[in-house]
Structures are given as structure tokens and as C-alpha cells.
Amino acid sequence: MKYISRIFWIALGCTFLFPLYWMISIALKSKSEAYENPFGIPSSWKWQNFSEALSKYNYFTYLENSLIYTLGTIAITLASGSMLAYCLSRMQWRFNSSALFYVSLGLIVPIEVVVIPLFQLIKLLHLKDSYWALILPYSGFAIASCVLMLYAFLRSLPKELEEAACIDGTNVYQAFFKIIFPIIMPALVTQCVLIFIRIWNEFPLAFIIASKDQFRPLTVGLLSFFVNVGVSDWGLIGATMFLSSLPMIIVYMIGNEKIENALTAGAILK
Amino acid sequence: MNKYFSTKMSIFVFATPALLLFTVFCVYPLVPEIWMSLQKHNGFQSLGFVGLDNYKAIFASSSFWTAHKNTYLIVGISLLLGIPLSMTLALFMEIQTPRLRRFFKSAAMFPAILSVTVVAQIWLAFYEPNWGLFNSILRAIGMDSWTHSWLTEKNTVMLSIGLTFLWQYIGLNAMLFYTGIKTIPKSYYEAALIDGANFAQVCMRITIPLLQNIIKYVLILSTLGSMAFYSHVRVMTAGGPGDKSRTVIYQMYYTAFDTSEFGKGTAIAVVFILECLLISFLIQRFVARDKLEF
């Protein structure tokens, strides 16, 4: 009984990993083998799919764009979000609770439903062909959960924290960067991981707004590549899929524990 | 001392950047959205004010209702299948050996970190009618009559896409539940053990009731996530066959960007925002209203 349940769990775990195996195995197969033996182990390893992928697929452009979008969003969201959270939790402002409520409304509406006006707004602000066209809306939508999480974190800290700084004659900006910033680091790391996973894999908005190839992130670039190749060359498709997922797979392998904690942190706080 | 820090100037400096970003890109778009939905609009300019005509038109179109049926099918799948299944996984994860649990946790979360484009394209190969995984398995065990052209038949297409979605996020939800289970104080279980309760009783009487905060969180996350269901459809079927796998968001994109009916597209969006607000309100109102403290 014990062994049966153990085997069942291993098998179940493997069903989640099967696509990873399949992506790699099909990438190593020749065109004809991909059809004759689509799910088995490749008979011999052929690397030409990868070299073909690197020459036909603008991998490094898309990779660079994904990095710019993700890191840009993280920087802007964490900087502005932590400042607002600090203001709402520690400063005496008449509108603290109403501002908090206002920001929390951002959790209800999914970004997809405002794609059309956002598209118009980006054109109006002349941001259309720049990285800001995605970074700014992404940040706007990431701020709600960032502020709420940091607010909860800051509220749990003792009020006396900045008092010493106050006596030393430090001003509020120095106090924020030298005292508060290091303390809220764990929460910032959590937010960083959450935003990274979300923006790195974001598709619906990028699909509409990054219409020029040179501004496409990996998710959208990959789809347009699939559409161009058609469904004839699965070896090539497998290679591009693997290359596109590789950064995330590496991040996941290194920061497995951190990612797990970050993804589940929101559930505990709420 | 907080008074000393809370000058008008410092509040302004700290609050403005985030509030400005949030307002401009998250809240303000609702204004042109509503305004545009009352006009005939081709994406470049307004072709005149038409009042509620766009709303009448979308309510009269059958694609709009097909899209709603599909979206709520996905919501149904993720709430009625996804949540109970991931809860079951989480409950049984607790009684595994630590090594097996670690392996399972890493494996189950893996699909959730892959991009939708990759996951959907992989499943496209699984559903392929001639050499795809599912039909190959069905043929191998002699159930040829069960094979389908999964993504081009109107009866199977939405369930097939839904299964992909379910598979991608079930592990993540299980992890959320499992994290919640870990926060329940051990003393509750010790008391139950003394009373001679079995595993099923412990799950039903202790674990699940004490998890209501997390259940609510996952419920909101899953509901809003599946309401916005779009990307898988875009990659796997592009809404086909016909409009049979379009979701509401897909229908909105299609109406605005493929047929240049921006007025009708925004009308769909406005109706859908109201639905999202209503559902969030219902969850807040009726599920787990008291916050549990241990």
C-alpha cells in the first residue's frame, strides 16, 4: 500500500515534468523522426535544430526585451510601491485609509479588460514604439498587490524604529533608505519574484502593444515564430520553446525555495 | 516623532509616484473605455455618438453569449475541479516522506512558471489528431472510437483547453493550500489524535475549516484568473472552430482589433468589468467573512 501510493505520487509528479522532457527530446530529433517517434527518446542526438533556431529565431532580441520589461517593471514598482506603502503605514496623512482602499481596487480588475483604452493611451502619449509602452502599464497594475503586501509588512514593525534616527537629526528620506529599506528587504524580494514571474510570462497586453518585432518579448515573439514556421517542423519548434524557457528554468533551479516562498507568501498575509 | 516625518512635502514625495502610475494606467483607462463604448469608433477616430447601440448590438450577437458560456465553463472547471483536486493533493502531501514531498512540490509548481505560449504549444502537440499523445495512447489501448480531433471539434475544444489550464495551475494552488496547512498549530491535531479521529475526519473537521482564509484567497485568485482567460485560446485555437472557443476577453480583442469595432469592443469590456466587480463582491460577502486568528 505504501509503495503503491509512493509510485502514484512519483508518477503524478512526472506528469508535471513531462512537457520539459518532451520539449528537449523533440528538439533533438530530425524532422522525420519527430513524426515517426514524437514522444519516445531520440534515437540519436541532433543539435542542428538549435543552430537553426538561433539563426532563424530572434532569440537574443526577444530575450533582451523580456529582460528590459521585467527589470524595468520591478524597479519602478518596488521603488514607488515601497514609498507609498511607507507613507500609508507610518505617516500621518488624512487620506491614508481612503488611499489604501483606492489602491486595493487594482486587485479586482484584470489588466486584459482595459487593453483597448490602454492601447489608445499609449498612442496618445507617444510611447507606442518604446519600452515604456509596456513597463508603465505593467507597473501601474503591479502596484496594488505590492503596496498591500508591503503595507501589511510595515504595519507589523514597531513604531519606534525611526525614533533613533529622528533624534540623530536624520531626515525622512535618509531614514527611509537607510533604516526602512533594509528591513523590508525580505518582502521586497518576495515582490520581486512575483513580479518577475508575472511579467516575464505576460502575454495579452504585450501581444497588442508590442506589435513591432524589435520590441517583442519572448512570449509574443515565440508565438509569431510558431505562426511563421507552421506546424511542419516540430524539432525546430521544440528547440525555440526550450531556448525561450531556459532563463526561467535556470532561475527556478537556482531559486526554487525562494520562488516557492514568494508564490505562497501572499496567501499567508491575506 | 511620526509628526516630525509627516510634513506635507514628504507625504507628497512618497505618495505621488505610485498613486500617479496607478491612476494613469489602471484607473483612468476606465473613463475612455466607457466613453468609447457609447460611440462608433474605428480605433483612430470616433464616427459619432450612438448612445447604447453598441450594447444592444453585443447583446444581440450570438458570439457574445458563446464567449460567456466558454468563460464561465473555464471558471467552473477551475473552481469545481481545480480547487477540490488541488486541496486533495495538498492534504495528501502532508503524509508523504520529506524527500518525495520536496520532489513533488518542485515538479507540481513547474508548469506555473512556464510561459503560456510554451505550455499551450506543447499541449497543441498532445492534442494533435494524427500523432498526438492522447490519440496515440487511445489507439494503443484499442479505444480508437474515442479518438477526437480535440481542438477542431466544437464539443471537445473548450474542455481540452480547460484541461491544459487546469494542469498548468493545479500544482501552484496545491502549494498555496499546503502552505496554509503548515500554519495550523500542531496542538489541534494532537487533540484530535487523542480523541481517536482518523485521517478523513481530521481533514474534514479540522484542516479544511481552519483553511478558510487561504481557500478564499485561492478562490479569488482562480476566479479572476479564469475570468481573464485568453492567452491559451490565442495560441491553441485562435478562437476556432468559428467562434466556438472564444472567451469574453478573446471576443473583446477580436471585436476591437480584428474587426475595428472599437465601440463594441469597449462595450464588451464595460459589461465584463461589471461582472468582475459583482463576482468579487459576492466572494467578499459570502465566503469566509470572519478572519481567523490562531
- Beta strand B39-41 with B46-49 is antiparallel
Q: For B178-189, write each residue's pLDDT tens digit.
A: 888 888 888 888
- Beta-carbon contacts of B145 under 8 Å, excluding residues fewer than 6 positions away, are none
Written as one string, the DSSP assignment of A218-266 is HHHHHHHHHHHHTTS-HHHHHHHHHHHHHHHHHHHHHSHHHHHHHHHHH
Contacts of A27 in chain B (CB under 8 A): none
Interface of A with B in 224-243 (CB under 8 A): 226, 231, 234, 237, 241
Q: For B87-115, write each residue's pLDDT tens digit.
A: 999 988 878 888 888 888 889 889 988 99
- At B207, list the grid cell: 484542516
Q: What is the dihedral of CA B174, B179, B182, B183, to 10 degrees?
A: -130
The answer to whether the CB atoms of B115 and A38 lie below 8 A apart is: no
Name residue B154's amino acid: K
Query: Would you place residue B292 in the very low, low, confident or very high pLDDT band (cuts 50, 70, 90)?
Result: low
The answer to whether the CB atoms of A22 and B125 lie below 8 A apart is: yes
- At B50, list the grid cell: 450612438
Nearest chain B residue to A200 by CA: give it: B115
| Domain locations in chain B as residue ranges | 62-286
For an interface test with B, give the residue of A3, A69, A77, A109 to mutate (most B CBs within 10 A). Answer: A109
At B1 the pLDDT is 47
Give the end-to-end CA distance of chain B in Å, rounded to a whole number. Answer: 33
What mean pLDDT is predicted for residues A84-95?
A: 86
Query: Phi and psi dihedrals of B139, rounded to 5?
Result: -70, -40
Q: What is the mean pLDDT of chain A?
A: 86
Asked whether the predicted pLDDT for residue A231 surpasses 80, the reply is no
CB-side neighbour CA atoms (13 Å) of B216: 21
Contact A206, A217 (CB under 8 A): yes
What mean pLDDT is predicted for residues A197-202?
A: 91
- At B282, list the grid cell: 459576492
Q: For A43-62, write each residue's pLDDT tens digit.
A: 777 788 888 888 888 899 99
- Beta-carbon contacts of A211 under 8 Å, excluding residues fewer than 6 positions away, are none
Q: Interhelix angle for B62-76 vs B212-227, to 10°?
A: 150
At A56 the pLDDT is 86
Asked whether the predicted pLDDT for residue B247 surpasses 90, the reply is yes
Asked whether the predicted pLDDT for residue B272 surpasses 90, the reply is yes
Written as one string, the DSSP assignment of A56-101 is HS-HHHHHHHHHHHHHHHHHHHHHHHHHHHHHHHHS--TTHHHHHH
- Please name which of A137, A163, A154 lies closest in space to residue A96, comparing C-alpha atoms: A154
Contacts of A86 in chain B (CB under 8 A): 14
Stronger pLDDT, B5 or A244, i.e. the higher one: A244
Q: Calculate how close chain B gets to A215, using CA atoms only, in Å.
A: 17
Interface of A with B in 137-166 (CB under 8 A): 137, 139-141, 143-144, 147, 159, 162-163, 166
At A270 the pLDDT is 47
Q: How would CATH label the architecture of B62-286?
A: Orthogonal Bundle (1.10)
Query: Would you place residue A77 in the very low, low, confident or very high pLDDT band (cuts 50, 70, 90)?
Result: very high
Q: For B149-179, write each residue's pLDDT tens digit.
A: 888 888 889 999 999 999 999 988 898 888 8
